[in-house]
Chain A
Amino acid sequence: MNKAEPLVSRYSHEDYKSTVKPIWCPGCGHFGVETSLFRALAYLELPPEQVAIISGIGCSSRIPAYTQCYGFHGVHGRAPAVATGLKLARPELTVIVTSGDGDAFSIGGNHFIHACRRNVDMTLLVMDNEVYGMTKGQPSPTSPADWDSKIAPGGTGFSPFASLAVALASGANFIARGFSGDPNGVARLLVEAIQHPGFSFVQVLSPCVTYRPEERFWKKTVHPSSVESTNDPAVAGHRLLSDDGFTTGVFYVGNRPCYSATVDTSNHDLRAIEEDLAL
């Protein structure tokens, strides 16, 4: 899929869109991300009923109800765990987690790390706006240390969370960054992420125009990566740790082994198990 190529698919992105009106503010970056997700699904010709969109809590986590796919809008931060259970139980489904920086990296930080480590075949799409929008403007793990807010006047004083580097160190198998202002670019990243086996992590910089209006200028700050992706974690690690956080593109494409399972419910013969208990 590239920019020049027209999308030819038996699905249009409208086939994935529900009639529920998003709660997002006008100008929210998440509209673009939603469009990118639908374009990617259409490009991959994934039947909506074969796709499950799993989320937690926050503005970004509202996406499941806006789709025609199966959706799961659960508790705050735990979507990667729900997705893991679903994918292990039903490996034939395409499982996508949609999340935000607070949901995925703060309350869900532990699950983020272990989802990367387990490397179950799914895609985590984090819409990162460096703020808690739904609760109206508190600092998130990716907010700059000096970002002033009511709850942390003068800034938190905490270093921002380097999510891509953490994902790499934790064992994620595909790591990329996109920008919501480039929906086609994000759609391309998502296509690659969904197709790549194992746990794929895509961070999408998605401005919060209400609580971080300065993020409107991200469109001037982001820049595409000038180098190809690598399968060498050491190279990827060096790039990520020396990056300014605004480079878009694929950073790492690994071949780490996936964790998978098959669950078969057809066998009801417990005789052998019960015989083991007989005296």
Chain B
Amino acid sequence: MNVPCSQTQATSIAIMGSGGAGAITTGSLLLEAAGQAGWYGLLTRSVGPQIRGGEALAMVRLAPTPVTGHGDRYDVLVALDWHNAGRFIAEIPLNDKSLIFADAEGGDPPSAILATGAHLIPLPFTDLADELPNARPNLLALGMLSELLGIPMDDTVQAVVRALSGKGLSVTHATDALAAGGQLATTFPDTQRLAPPSPRDTGTHWLVTGNQAAALGALRGGIRFAAVYPITPATDLSEWLALRLQKLGGHLIQAEDEIASMNMVLGASFGGIPSMTITSGPGLALMTETLGLAVAAEIPSVVVNVMRGGPSTGIPTKSEQSDLNIALYGLHGDAPHLVLAAQSVTDCLVTTQWAVQLSETLQCPAIVLSDQFMGQALTVCERPAPLPDGPPRRIAEVGAARYDRYALTEDGISPMAIPGALGGQYTADGLEHNAHGTPSSSAADHLLQLDKRRLKLEQYDYGKAWAEIDGEGETAVLTWGSTTAAVLEAAAQARTAGLAVKVIALRLLSPTRPEHMTLALQGIQRVLVVEQSHSAQFHHFLRAHYTLPDRVEVISRPGPLPIRPGEVLNHLLQEIDHE
């Protein structure tokens, strides 16, 4: 059994070009214009390894309802040229319903593109641009797309003027170029027009990337100090945060390496300031020793890890969910800590804010897993509501009485003295210690402190946010991270096709919530695990910590190609006998 996979209300547009052609700019402006006009949308990018000006692909999806992931195929491909197109073919699924608009001066399309059966329409973007003052072919393409999709040209003009006003482009010239592009589209069939947007209050919509959202979540959570080392694809988060921290009275410093970053974070947090660092896989690997220290010395600290293809340098510019194992198990010793995962661009905000709150409350490091797909995706979305404040860091009331930094308390959380407070002096120590904080190698102290550090995480009430649970049925899809978008879309389509599907997308990965999961899996006969990792890290994690029904199927493959809804849907609708 098979059903059409594309969300009928959504339109997907890919824009491709070589260095300097402006593919990403065209996509961003299209998204912004559509957002102005009332649609929601998502833009992800694929770029070559060049530092500047390499070939680029912008993938845009627009819909009248919020968009968190890509669909199964592209309705429209705009080729500003075909140079280096081979690099991107696997990322742009097309079929015989797809339209390709290619600049007539852009060379010949690769045979693999023609083999998809997509309808090729050459257009004179370059020729027309040459006839107009200050016009570039990509502006004509944008005008064409705007007209084709039914985005009011005024919104497109506004987006262009705002973005390019500093670059000497006059409103008249921009309008002329966009209009000339739009003129090209008036001869096309009307089939690609967007479904009309729902009426909305324009003030509540944001244009934001996942990395920006995570940074804002950190600020909402109270982070005021950050130490970072540049690494793709996390650097833009740090850059965005630096200026905002400055405006708020906080501080971001670029350290000499990731080890120093993490240690600076612990120093600042030891000083009482909520602190974070931002990195990606190789950087996280360097931080793991210090994360062990944060566990042992019970110092709140947050690491946002924007995952990329690994191991080693891997594929720095593209997404993968393969840092799950290092985040969960990468620390030495028995080192319980928090691991949370964002599920979408807007959830980067929510999850990061929650991670800061939990880290401060539980005096424990928190790793937030985001990925390149979400982190660098630009989206038009609803403004995420702030979370209610969590319990703040418990500060010790110190004075003449003896202060035990690592006192054994009922909930495992011991009040923390902050340097400067008389009577609270203690040594934060990576050495095992007794309740007072004095180094100890006794078996009894070791066990007491190990128990304390585990219990404070396990006993805490995390509420419903440990997972997002959607739908009911005897089939459940278990997933996490940015893959959630494709799973939710597939589940909705499966329901339409008559299969009741429940989606359980985990946000809190550590500590595990076995009782909650057992409840969530009640009545489930069949589980499908969906993840973007070659070695099925999430599947093995689930096997290790949770009781799953007998029938478990797995979709697990590496990045950088996103897992698409159709792949999940087809799997769900296949009758596969369990092993």
Contact = CB atoms under 8 A, between A and B. Distances in A.
A274 B382 CA distance: 12
A266 B219 contact: no
Contacts of A270: 216, 219-220, 248
Is the contact region of chain A dominated by helix, strand, or loop, or is it mixed? mixed
A74 B262 CA distance: 12
Given A73-B429, A85-B265, 8 more contacts: A20-B438, A50-B419, A71-B427, A84-B267, A111-B256, A263-B250, A264-B224, A278-B205
B428 A78 contact: no
Given A65-B438, A90-B271, A279-B35, A85 B202 contact: no
Contacts of B264: 81-82, 84-85, 88
Contacts of A86: 267-268, 270-271, 419
Interface of B: 32, 35-36, 202-208, 212, 216, 219-220, 222, 224-225, 227, 244, 247-251, 253, 255-257, 259-261, 263-275, 289-290, 292-293, 297, 380, 383, 417, 419-431, 437-439
Contacts of B293: 74-75
Contacts of A274: 216, 383
A107 to B, nearest CB: 10
A274 B240 CA distance: 12
A277 interface: yes
26 contacts: A49-B419, A49-B421, A49-B423, A52-B271, A71-B427, A71-B428, A72-B270, A73-B427, A73-B429, A75-B430, A78-B260, A81-B256, A81-B264, A85-B225, A88-B225, A88-B268, A93-B419, A110-B256, A264-B249, A265-B222, A273-B219, A277-B207, A277-B212, A277-B383, A278-B205, A279-B380
Contacts of A261: 251, 253
Contact of A81 (B207, B249, B267): B267
B208 A111 contact: no
Contacts of B250: 263-265
Contacts of B35: 279
A70 B216 contact: no
A92 B271 CA distance: 11
A62 to B, nearest CB: 8
A4 interface: no
A88 B253 contact: yes
Nearest to B423: A49
A10 B380 CA distance: 63
Contacts of B227: 81, 85
Given A73-B427, A73-B431, A85 B268 contact: yes
A72 B290 CA distance: 13
Contacts of A88: 225, 251, 253, 264, 268
Nearest to B222: A265
Nearest to A16: B425
A195 to B, nearest CB: 20
Contacts of B270: 52, 72, 82, 85-86
A198 to B, nearest CB: 16
Interface in A232-279: 261-268, 270, 272-274, 277-279
Contacts of A90: 268, 271-273, 419-420
A48 B424 CA distance: 10
A265 B32 contact: no
A114 interface: yes
A277 B219 contact: no
A221 to B, nearest CB: 34
Contact of B439 (A65, A68, A70, A89): A65
A82 B267 contact: yes
A54 interface: yes
A85 B263 CA distance: 7
A279 B383 CA distance: 10
Nearest to B244: A273
B275 A85 contact: yes
B419 A263 contact: no
A202 interface: no
Contacts of A267: 248-249
Contacts of B261: 81
A50 B265 CA distance: 20
A263 B263 contact: no
Contact of A273 (B216, B249, B272, B383): B216
Contacts of A64: 427, 429
A83 interface: yes
Contact of B263 (A52, A74, A272, A277): A74
A89 B206 contact: no
Among A54, A69, A70, the one with the most B-chain Cβ atoms within 10 Å of its Cβ is A70
Given A50-B420, A82-B263, A277 B249 contact: no
Nearest to A93: B419
Contact of A83 (B202, B265, B267, B417): B267
Contacts of B419: 49-50, 52, 70, 86, 90, 93
A67 B438 CA distance: 11
Interface string A44-71: 0001111010100000000011011111
B224 A265 contact: yes
A279 B206 contact: yes
In the complex, the 5 A-B pairs of residues with the closest C-beta atoms, listed nearest first: A85-B267, A71-B427, A264-B249, A85-B264, A81-B263
Contacts of B268: 85-86, 88-90, 263
A79 B427 CA distance: 13
A278 B203 contact: yes
B266 A263 contact: no
A270 B223 CA distance: 12
Among B271, B424, B430, the one with the most A-chain Cβ atoms within 10 Å of its Cβ is B271
A196 to B, nearest CB: 21
B250 to A, nearest CB: 6
A241 to B, nearest CB: 25
Contacts of A273: 216, 219, 244, 247-248
Nearest to A79: B263
B207 A279 contact: yes
A178 B383 CA distance: 60
B216 A92 contact: no
Contacts of A92: 420
A83 B428 CA distance: 13
